Structure formats: C-alpha cells, structure tokens
C-alpha cells in the first residue's frame, strides 16, 4: 500500500512540476488545482494516521469528505478541458454542456433509484460508484459528440481527457465488484478499495505526465479559428459542416435565451 501511494504521489508531483515549468497551469488552472488538491489530500490522510486519539469512524468520514472535495475538483478540471477543446465552436460547446448536464442528471436519477445498500461503508462505495459512472458517461458522451462532428482536438487535451475517462471507468468497475461482494456477504476492507483505486489512478497520472511533457503550442490556442475562405480551403467538407452546425446552434441558443 505504501509503495503504490508513494508512486502515485511522486507521479502527481511530477505532473505539477510539469504544469509549472511549462507554464501550462495558466491554460488549465482547474486541472492544476485538482492535482494540487490530490497532493494535499494525500498529506491530510497521512497525517490522520499519526493522530492516536482519532477513532476509525471519524477518520473514515474525514477521508470520504476529502474524497468528495477532490471529485468536485475533478469534474471542474474535466469541464475546463472540454471547454477549451470546443472554445472555437461556441455553438457546439453549448450543445456539449447540455449533453453533459442531461446525461449526468439521468445517471444520477438512475443511481438514486437503484441504490439499496445498507451501512455507512456500503453507502459510500455506492455514492463513489455513482459519481464515477456519471462522470464517465457524461465524458464519453461529449467525446462521442466531438468524434462524430470531427472536431479537431489537441493531443494533450485528448490524453488528459483519456486519463480522466480511464480512471473513472476503472473506478466504476472496482466499485461494482465490491458491491457484488457486499451483496454476497463478503467483507471488503476500505484498504483493499484504496489500493485498487490508487493503482488505477497511477495509470492516469502517467498518461497526464506524457500529455504535459511539452508546453502547449500557440496553435492549440487558436485551433480552428478560420475565416470563411479558410474554411473552404482547408478540409472543406468537414470545416464547412462544422461552421454551419456551429452557426445554427448559436442561433438556437440565442432563441432559447430570448424565450426565457
């Protein structure tokens, strides 16, 4: 356990150093804040282990609260990357965040309706699984939208989003297996769950380190910001479709705003 924890912490520290040294944190501040919070959470959990007066119930509750904070930061960081990816297409971004919100709401409702565990630990596992199921489903829905409309995405953003998606999918798988074991009467210790989730997260951290090994190029910032003549000259069919779709969606969102 200590070994995988140390490797994960070291990997996150490397990612944070890359964000600072390459000045990438200016482009993705929420992602930088997410990595920083994860490191702070590790220090916090480590400090609690050395407080002899703290009982296990209190320490578990505090650990889960810190997990909720980092999960919120994760959602903000992923939304930030999606917004940057679709920034040149304001209309398509309007569609994407609506897909994100709708998908999240549907999955949350489904999780609430199907949740029937008993006991604090089982409930926490259920909530954690529900969050990652929501997060992964919404993220995959947006990525499919980007894929379907052939929106160009910088490779660094692809890797960061891929790391988020892989980690959440693994979290869902791990928590589902744990829930099955609970229902069959097996006792699952929180330390086992922590080891498996940290192992999965370590893989995502490695992907992020690869994504951030080089600074973001200026071209990424201006991607797909073409004039009408550029749209017709560079990949005419794809870019023209994107331009028309973007304009129609912008008109739709303006009509929606006026109706309210």
pLDDT in tens, 220-229: 434 444 455 5
Question: What is the C-alpha separation between 249 and 93, in angstroms, rounded?
Answer: 9
Is 25 in the same domain as 87? yes
pTM of whole model > 0.85? no
Is 55 in the same domain as 168? yes
Is 137 in the same domain as 244? no
- pLDDT for position 188: 65
Query: What is the rounded average pLDDT for all residues in the chain?
Result: 77
> Count of domains in the chain?
2
pLDDT in tens, 42-86: 888 888 777 766 666 677 777 777 887 888 888 889 889 888 888
Q: What percent of the chain has pLDDT over 70?
A: 72
- The range of the structural domain enclosing residue 40 comes to 2-219
- pLDDT for position 165: 92
- pLDDT for position 115: 54
- pLDDT for position 235: 47
Is 144 in the same domain as 251? no
Q: How confident is the model at residue 113 (pLDDT cuts 50, 70, 90)?
A: low
Is 17 in the same domain as 37? yes
Q: Minimal CA–CA distance to 193: which of 1, 49, 40? A: 1
Is 233 in the same domain as 214? no
Is 15 in the same domain as 108? yes
245: left (phi over 0), alpha (psi -120 to 50) or beta: alpha
According to DSSP, residue 55 is labeled -
- Give the range among 29-33, 37-41, 221-225, 251-255 with minimum mean pLDDT: 221-225
């Amino acid at each position: 356990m200590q070994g995988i924890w140390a490797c994960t912490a070291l990997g996150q520290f490397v990612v944070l150093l890359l964000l600072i040294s390459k000045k990438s944190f200016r482009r993705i501040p929420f992602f930088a804040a997410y990595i920083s919070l994860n490191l702070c959470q590790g220090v916090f959990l480590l400090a609690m282990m050395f407080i002899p007066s703290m009982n296990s119930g209190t320490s578990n509750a505090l650990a889960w609260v810190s997990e909720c904070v980092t999960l919120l930061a994760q959602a903000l960081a992923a939304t930030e990357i999606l917004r940057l990816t679709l920034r040149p297409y304001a209309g398509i971004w309007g569609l994407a965040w609506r897909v994100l919100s709708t998908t999240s709401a549907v999955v949350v409702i489904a999780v609430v309706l199907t949740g029937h565990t008993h006991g604090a630990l089982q409930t926490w596992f259920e909530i954690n699984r529900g969050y990652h199921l929501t997060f992964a489903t919404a993220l995959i829905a947006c990525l499919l939208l980007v894929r379907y409309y052939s929106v160009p995405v910088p490779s660094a953003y692809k890797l960061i989003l891929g790391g988020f998606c892989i980690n959440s999918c693994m979290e869902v798988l791990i928590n589902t297996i744990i829930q099955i074991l609970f229902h069959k009467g097996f006792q699952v210790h929180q330390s086992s769950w922590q080891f498996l989730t940290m192992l999965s997260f370590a893989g995502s951290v490695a992907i992020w380190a690869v994504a951030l090994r080089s600074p973001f190029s200026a071209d990424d910032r201006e991607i797909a910001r073409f004039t009408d003549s550029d749209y017709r000259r560079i990949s005419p069919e794809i870019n023209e479709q994107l331009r028309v779709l973007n304009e129609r969606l912008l008109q739709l969102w303006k009509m929606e705003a006026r109706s309210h």
